[in-house]
Amino acid sequence: MERPAWAPRSIDISVPSVARIYDYYLGGSHNFEVDRQAARKAMDFMPGLPKIMQANRAFMRRAVRHAADEGIDQFLDIGSGIPTFGTVHEVAQRIRPGARVVYVDHDPVAVAHSEAVLAGNPDTGVVAADLRKPQEILASPAVQTLIDLKRPVALLLVAILHFVEDADDPYKAVAELREALAPGSRLILTHASYEGIPLPAERAEGTVAVYKDIRNPLIMRSREEIARFFEGYDMVEPGLVPMPHWRPETPPEDEDPYAFSGFAGVGRAA
């Protein structure tokens, strides 16, 4: 297997990666055959997976625009993945020139590619770190330099918490981040769930099994369990809803049925 020029020497290109599988679903080019094989296997059970990812990205852009319109000019995107069209800094800096954005991921390809894309943009930074270790993220030079934690920040946790197992206590990590943020900060979040998938749960479980096989378990949580991540936040209207229902710009009834899989919401720190 040939290693493309953009792939860091340190990564094992024979092992699939969640960030690169996501990139493949979105039509990106920063993925390997091993990622494409895993993605196609998952799509055998849920052919609408790319539609779910597109709905995630569309929600993320609407939520970032909302935060920027509300005066927020600092964004911390954890589990940011491989940059594709319409990333957080593009959306935020269009509305608020000079808005500061820090991207965080633990996937070396995502980090290396983010650094390449952001070279020459002084208002952005990249951190190689893991959501399960919030203090490492908060203490990183990029966060310390670019983000003023005494002012409101929009914290993005888009399509990441469902990769954190209960044993790693994702609620604790989210609470630690909330405690570090100023009042008026926003939590922008999406999460996978069996609720809303236009398939019997048994069939969707086939996709979950594929992620388990590649040692990146996909944890499907209920709406109630997802709502717990917003403890300490006031929900922004319309609350925790399927992605196409969060402040839509086009009629939700025109969306693909798969776009309604899982939940999205924005909370405002009291």
Listing DSSP states for 200-263 in one string gives -HHHHHHHHHHHHHTT-------HHHHHGGGTTEEEPTT-SB-GGGSS-SS-GGGS-GGGGSSE
Is 248 inside a domain boundary? yes
One digit per residue, the tens of pLDDT, for the chain of length 270 reads 677 777 777 778 889 999 999 999 999 988 999 999 999 999 999 999 999 999 999 999 999 999 999 999 999 999 999 988 789 999 999 999 999 999 999 998 899 889 988 999 999 999 999 999 999 999 999 999 999 999 999 999 999 999 999 999 999 999 999 999 999 999 999 999 999 999 999 999 999 999 999 999 999 999 999 999 999 999 999 999 999 999 999 999 999 999 999 999 999 999
Phi, psi of 38, rounded to the nearest 5 degrees: -65, -40
Is 148 inside a domain boundary? yes
Is 33 inside a domain boundary? no
Number of domains in the chain: 1
Is 204 inside a domain boundary? no
CA angle 221–222–227, rounded 5-degree value: 95
Is 83 inside a domain boundary? yes
Q: What is the CATH number of the domain that holds 54?
A: 3.40.50.150
Is 214 inside a domain boundary? no
For residue 174, give its domain range: 49-199+220-269
Q: Which of 131, 153, 117 is nearest to 23 (CA)?
A: 117
